[in-house]
Structure 1
Amino acid sequence: MQNIVIESRQLNMPKLGLGTWPMVGDECTRAVVQALELGYRHIDTAAAYENEDAVGRALVESGLPRKEIYVTSKVWWDKLTPSDMRRSFDNTLQALQSEYVDLFLIHWPGKGWDLVRTIETLISIKEQGGARNIGVANFPLPLLREVVEVMGAPLAVIQVEYHVSLAQRALLQYAREHDMALTAYSPLMRNKAAEIPAIRRIAEKHGVLPTQIALKWLLEQPNVAAVPKASSRANQSSNLASFNVQLDDDDRAVIASLPKDQRVVSPEYAPQWDPPT
């Protein structure tokens, strides 16, 4: 099955990727190989997931040319000095058994960090060819604006939690205005989206799964990608089949009416979040 891509001046990124957290080891390798066999071409990992080596094995075992697979990885928030970032990035490439990543993100804003030097290092990783594109994750809008407008960083992606119960309108509008994509992590609310009565009713109306409704709502939005974690063949296949679901205006109105302030990921090191809009 063909995976639709986000195409822009900077990007050619499949809209649906495979999230790999918290899979590790052989489980992760099997899941990634399986996803690639099914047609996924976007794999999302991170140093903090401790599974980049498992993803790397899957890339090799798949037999696919490296250029056909879009790989995203991330550097953790406590590794944002220039030397630590470069060491983390080198470890990422080694684990992935790859000469480059397609997208390299700062996973979370740092604490007491030198933002300018961090962003300079991120840009240099791109300029030196190690990352085809760069971006950030979990940055609130004021910080994202500073990085893009004040520092002039050529960011291609902002990755944040985004789903039917959490609004990200301000970030999404900003991303679109600046030729960026927004990648939604936890797009199924760690399976809680499937329990929402309104989502279940829409799914019953169309004869599909609630998860497919929640994913389709994201995937039909311009500049939005999603990286749901799925390990079983059934879940990977059903997520991929979300592209075939057809929502109507009534469905979208129902989803729009849901509370949009339900965040499922907010660790103690999280930044001050933007208010839902």
Structure 2
Amino acid sequence: MGIPTFGAGTFRLQGQVVIDSVRNALELGYRAIDTAQIYGNEAEVGQAIADSGVPRSELFITTKVWVDNYADDKLILSLQESLDKLRLDAVDLTLIHWPAPGKGVPVAAAVSTLARARQQGLTRQIGVSNFNIADMEHAIGAVGKDAIATNQIELSPYLQNRKLVAYLQEQHIPVTSYMTLAYGKVLTDPVITTIASRHQATPAQVALAWALQLGYAVIPSSTRRENLESNLKAQALRLTADDMARIASLERNGREVSPAGLAPEWD
């Protein structure tokens, strides 16, 4: 089974805020929810899922293993703790969160241990996040490209990551775009707002539709129910070739997230 192309993210959402956001998303029809160990909200996400009444078989839950847990003796234990918090027997997808060269565990070793967690039934699929081409080659060397469900990377109209995306597409590894709205910066972009008004759409819908039309999965988050609802409509928005070309011209290497010691040397 492939990964869903549209989900709800939970980055930076805490406590009751994340419970409300996930509850609203599930009520509105979202079925894919993305969290991570470092977000500190897996228990709240689990509570919202349990309270929703949505059958487990309809849900696609993703979490990410934090960099302190990559060692052979820690990774599987940490994933079991995540499952306890999420109140799940297994997640649908688990990602290695950052290559973290400063942490001393090679990505091939971390991905191999994650593959073992899949064999143990803790996660149905495995993948990576924030990997550059060199990291991807190590991961593919360890488990094979068919085992890697996605590389979740920062991607927006301001950071189009074309070299890495081209490599992933050559390898037939799906791309998941996070920070697709560049912390909201693209929402006031004159090119995006002009396209939005022509389509009677919101700027967020335009940016998300752009990513979807390029074949990426997206996981936008919002604390506001009306934005969660509005974002879903990006799936029905069809941008023209001219729209896509105009958005392509917005590339400015506008990276928002690159923590020292965790991030790779970007392609």
Could you tell me the TM-score, scaled by structure 2's length? 0.94
Amino acid at match of 1:257: S
- Choose the corresponding residue for 1:42, options 26, 29, 32: 32
Of residues 2, 14, 23, the one that matches 2:4 is: 14
- 2:127 matched to 1:135? yes
Deviates more, 1:129-138 or 1:25-34: 25-34
SS in 2 for 1:59: helix
Spell out, residue by residue over 1:178-227, the C-alpha distance to the aligned partner (whole angstroms, 9 max, x if none).
332111111111111102111111111111111111000001222x1011
> What CA RMSD, in Å, does the superposition of the two structures yield over aligned residues?
1.5
1:145-184 matches, within 5 Å, as 145-149=137-141, 151-152=143-144, 154-184=147-177
Contact 2:133/2:164 (<8 A) preserved: yes
What whole-Å deviation, never above 9, does each CA across 1:252-274 have from its counterpart, x for those lacking one? 11111112411111122343333
Letter in 1 for 2:163: A
Shift of 1:147: 1.2
Shift, 1:151, TM fit? 4.8
Counterpart position of 2:23: 33
d(CA) in 1 for partners of 2:8, 2:143? 31
The answer to whether residue 108 in structure 2 is matched with residue 125 in structure 1 is: no
2:73 maps to 1:83? yes
- Percent sequence identity over aligned pairs: 37
Amino acid at match of 1:74: K
Q: Specify the alignment match of 2:51 in structure 1.
A: 61
Shift of 1:150: 5.2
Letter in 2 for 1:88: S
| Structure 2 counterpart of 1:5 | none
1:254 equivalent among 241, 246, 261: 246
1:109 Cα deviation (Å)? 1.1
Kept after mapping to 2: 8 A contact 1:156/1:179: no
What is aligned with 1:245?
A: 237
| Corresponding residue SS for 1:61 | helix
Runs (5+) with no aligned partner, structure 1? 1-10
Flag the structure with higher helix content.
Answer: 2
In 1, the alpha carbon distance for the partners of 2:124 and 2:252 equals: 33
Segment drifting more, 49-58 vs 111-120 = 111-120
Give 1:155's aligned amino acid: I
Match of 1:97 among 81, 84, 87: 87
| 2:69 aligned counterpart, secondary structure | coil
